[in-house]
Amino acid sequence: MKEIPMVLLAGGFGTRIAHLTEGLPKPMVEVAGRPFIEWLMVYYGTFGIADFILSTGYRSEIVEKYFRQRSLPGVKVRCQKESVPLGTAGAFLNATSGFADPSNGWLIANGDSLIAANPTLLVEFGQKHGWDAALFGLEVVDATRFGTLKLSKEGLLESFSEKRTGSGLINAGVYWLSRDCRAKFPSKRPLSFETDVFPELLVKGMRIGVLPVSVPFIDIGTPATLEQANDFVIDVAKRRDKVIKVD
C-alpha cells in the first residue's frame, strides 16, 4: 500500500485537565518523557505511517516550536493552525486545504487518545469491501463517557447513539476517509465528525464500515486517565508485537 498521510487533531483546550497541564495544549502534555502526541506518531509509525499533519489550535506555537526542533527519523511532520475552533471535521478540512486527495484517502486520529490497533487496517478493509469510510469500534465495559455506535447486520455504521451506562461499542477516534469523501462534507462550521459529517455521509448513501476491536485504549481527557497514561504508553510499547489484529 502506498504511503497514506495521517491528520492528528491537536487543537483542543483540555479544560478538564487544564489545572494539571500548565498551559500546554492537551496533546503536548508530557507522558513517559515525551509529549503524548509524539507517542502517537511513534506508535502509528511502526505500521508504516510516516507523514503526519498536526491540526493545531490552542497554544499552537508550542506544538510548532517543539516539532521544528525535534526531528523524528524518517517522519514528516507539518503543523496547520486553525485560527478559530472549527470542530474535529472542520479542523481536518483546514489542515488538508491545498492538498490533493491521496489515492488511498486520509487517516485521521484524535491527538489526545491512543488505541493499540493498526490504523492501516481501516484502509485495507475499506478498499476491500468498497466502503467510503471506516472507523474502529472499541468494545468497552463502561461506555458512560462515550456515545455508542449502532451497526447494521453487515457491520456498517447506522448512527451514533447517546451516552449511556453499561458496556458498548464506542468510537475510538481513528478514521479512514476515501478520496471522494472530503468533497461531500457539509459546509457549516464548526463541523463535527460524529454529529455532522458521518450522519450527512449516511444520508447521501455512503457506506461507513466499523471494525470492532477489543484492545488497549486511553484518552487523556480526565485527571484519572492522564495519571494512567505513563504506564499505558510504556505497556503498549512493550506489547507492540502483540497488537490484536482484525481478521
Average pLDDT over residues 93-113: 94
Residue 165 located in a structural domain = no
Average pLDDT over residues 180-191: 94
| 152, amino acid identity | S
Question: What's 194's domain CATH number?
Answer: 3.90.550.10
Number of domains in the chain: 1
Residue 64 located in a structural domain = yes
Residue 155 located in a structural domain = no
Residue 120 located in a structural domain = yes
Res. 162: pLDDT tops 80:
no
161, burial (CB in 10 Å: exposed 0-12, middle 13-18, buried 19+): middle
Between strands 6-10 and 51-56, the pairing is parallel
Nearest to 45 by CA among 66, 83, 72: 72
For 31-79, what is each residue's pLDDT tens digit? 999 999 999 999 999 899 999 999 999 889 999 999 999 988 889 999 9
| Residue recorded with cell 499552537 | 60
pLDDT at 165: 79
| Residue recorded with cell 481478521 | 247
Residue 231 located in a structural domain = yes
Residue 128 located in a structural domain = yes
Residue 193 located in a structural domain = yes
Containing structural domain, residue 27: 6-135+171-208+217-241
Res. 124: pLDDT tops 80:
yes
pLDDT at 244: 37
pLDDT at 222: 86
CB-based contact 134:154 (threshold 8 Å)? no
For 224-240, what is each residue's pLDDT tens digit? 898 999 999 988 877 66
Residue 166 located in a structural domain = no
